[in-house]
Amino acid sequence: MPPRPSWRPLVAGTVALFFVILAFLAGQLKSGGDPALGRSSAPQQTSTEPSAPDDGFVPGGTAPAPAVPDGSSAAPTTHQS
């Protein structure tokens, strides 16, 4: 009966192949070719206008002070009959 092949060359080859693939992917990411992001053919548009009006809300901040009525306007009507 011929001797059984050792499992060590298989493990060494698998580890070597893993590092070759890892080095290839690291080089691809370093060059800016991230396959997960894909290739974007549309140019990125930058907007100078805010997308929502500034109402003074700051996440994690304190609430703005309530407006002080000056008495010149009537109370708002919520239901007309």
CB atoms within 10 A of CB 25: 13
Q: What is the pLDDT of residue 29?
A: 87
Residue appearing with tokens 């809300």: 57
Dist CA 47 CA 28 (whole Å) = 31
pTM, entire model: 0.41
The pLDDT of residue 57 is 66
Shortest CA distance to 67 belongs to which of 59, 58, 76? 76
45/9: higher pLDDT: 9
The per-residue pLDDT for range 14-67, each reduced to its tens digit, is 999 999 999 999 998 888 887 777 665 555 666 666 566 666 666 776 666 677
**What pLDDT does residue 8 have?**
93
Q: Spell out the residues 6+ positions from residue 56 whose beta carbon is closer than 8 angstroms to its own.
A: 64
Residue 13 has pLDDT above 90, yes or no: yes
